[in-house]
Amino acid sequence: MTCVQVFLTFCTLVTLYFADEIPLNVIESRHLSDSAPLLNDPLQNSLELSKSEFHAPGLDNVSGNSTNNDSELSLNSNHANSAGGQNETFNDGPGAVLVNLLTSLRHLPPGMHSVLLVMALTWLSWFPFFLFDTDWMGREVYHGDPKGTSNEVMLYDQGVREGAFGLLLNSVVLGISSFLIEPMCQKLGSRLVWAMSNFIVFVCMAGTAVISLISVGEYSEGIEHVIGGNAPIRIASLIVFALLGFPLAITYSVPFSVTAELTADSGGGQGLAIGVLNLAIVIPQMIISIGAGPWDALFGGGNIPAFVLASVCALAAGVYAALKLPNLSSSSFSGFHFG
């Protein structure tokens, strides 16, 4: 617990030292919902047009009927603000969040549909690892069984602890790789960097299946009842854990940067676009959580079928990303700046 507290304190100090605070400028509220640019809301657009006409320079120089015109514009503005307030209440209310997300799918900027598909395939390849990584170490690598004999339970617990150490290595590599993402995207482009990360996940997920087959192949009683393991297999497993930190750092940053860049010219709407992008994360999570167990049982149990499926999804994501993701300027990617 002390190590965790020291580590969290260190992270907090790094954040306070390096993160530049950006002052917020006080601007007049325009009552424009973040979803308006993606939803193409005609009422809100008419509100903006009405406000621009009300403040047109020509109105200040008109004589004679200026009083009547000002009164009429004032009434129209009050009516529009009232209607706009009701519309904003609907758009920003809790009950309309899902409606806004689903409706915005029809009005996403060009290229966003490809981003959503690649994002979904990417997370379909990641969630089997997130859910079964330590269990895989306990069963297929250390040949333990949480419901077996005392010796098998001990081996399983040892494998789980070794898997937790592998996740520590994964986090260290992820942290180091975070500093390399920005220069890589500026040199290669975010499309190639994202595609490369999926190909690395494909190789690693396929590697877990190969490691499992080799490990199980050394025994004759199958995954659930073997006892023991060997050092090369355990070392190879830890290497896979560590290597996956690099593509994970890319997955945590590049898709969101691409989304922000694609929606930058829509006059806002980045928040709703990120919300739609998150749907491409949570839906694969539900699919894997519900379907991974029956999928593994269909092939006799163990974690190998889920990892094979993950490798296929990662390969599909890499190929589709390389072919279909929009080409963004290499200089458009901007990450953290120090100084």
Residue 227's nearest CA partner among 170, 150, 293 is 150
Shared-domain flag, residues 113 and 49: no
Is 242 within the bounds of a domain? yes
**What are the pLDDT digits (tens) for 239-294?**
999 999 999 999 999 999 898 888 877 655 677 778 888 888 999 999 998 988 88
Is 316 within the bounds of a domain? yes
Joined tokens for residue 202: 């494909």
CA 164 to chain centre: 23
Domain containing residue 247: 103-324
Share the mean pLDDT of the chain: 76
Percent of the chain scoring above 70 in pLDDT: 65
Q: Where are the beta strands (DSSP E) in 4-81?
A: none
Q: Where are the beta strands (DSSP E) in 221-319?
A: none
Shared-domain flag, residues 196 and 299: yes
**What are the pLDDT digits (tens) for 115-126?**
999 999 999 999
Residue with the larger pLDDT of the pair 330 and 76: 330
Shared-domain flag, residues 123 and 159: yes
Q: What is the rounded CA–CA span in Å between residue 319 and residue 325?
A: 10
pLDDT score of 83: 46
Shared-domain flag, residues 54 and 193: no
The b/e string for 13-24 (b: 16+ C-beta within 10 A; e otherwise) is eeeeeeeeeeee
Shared-domain flag, residues 74 and 170: no
Shared-domain flag, residues 85 and 124: no
Shared-domain flag, residues 75 and 181: no
Residue 197's nearest CA partner among 113, 322, 306 is 322
Shared-domain flag, residues 237 and 294: yes
Is 23 within the bounds of a domain? no
Is 97 within the bounds of a domain? no
Shared-domain flag, residues 220 and 287: yes
Is 266 within the bounds of a domain? yes
Does residue 314 contact residue 180 with C-beta atoms inside 8 Å?
Answer: no
Q: Which domain-ending residue is among 92, 122, 154?
A: 92
pLDDT score of 50: 47
Is 331 within the bounds of a domain? no
Task: Residue 308: give its domain's CATH number.
Answer: 1.20.1250.20
Q: How many helices (H) and strands (E) does the chain have?
A: 13, 0
Q: What is the rounded CA–CA span in Å between residue 36 and residue 104?
A: 9
Structural domain total, the chain: 2
Shared-domain flag, residues 73 and 178: no
Is 8 within the bounds of a domain? no
Q: Which domain-ending residue is among 92, 118, 134?
A: 92
Shared-domain flag, residues 180 and 58: no
Shared-domain flag, residues 124 and 253: yes
Which range among 19-28, 111-120, 308-317 has the greatest average pLDDT?
Answer: 308-317
At 104, is the pLDDT very low, low, confident or very high (cuts 50, 70, 90)?
low
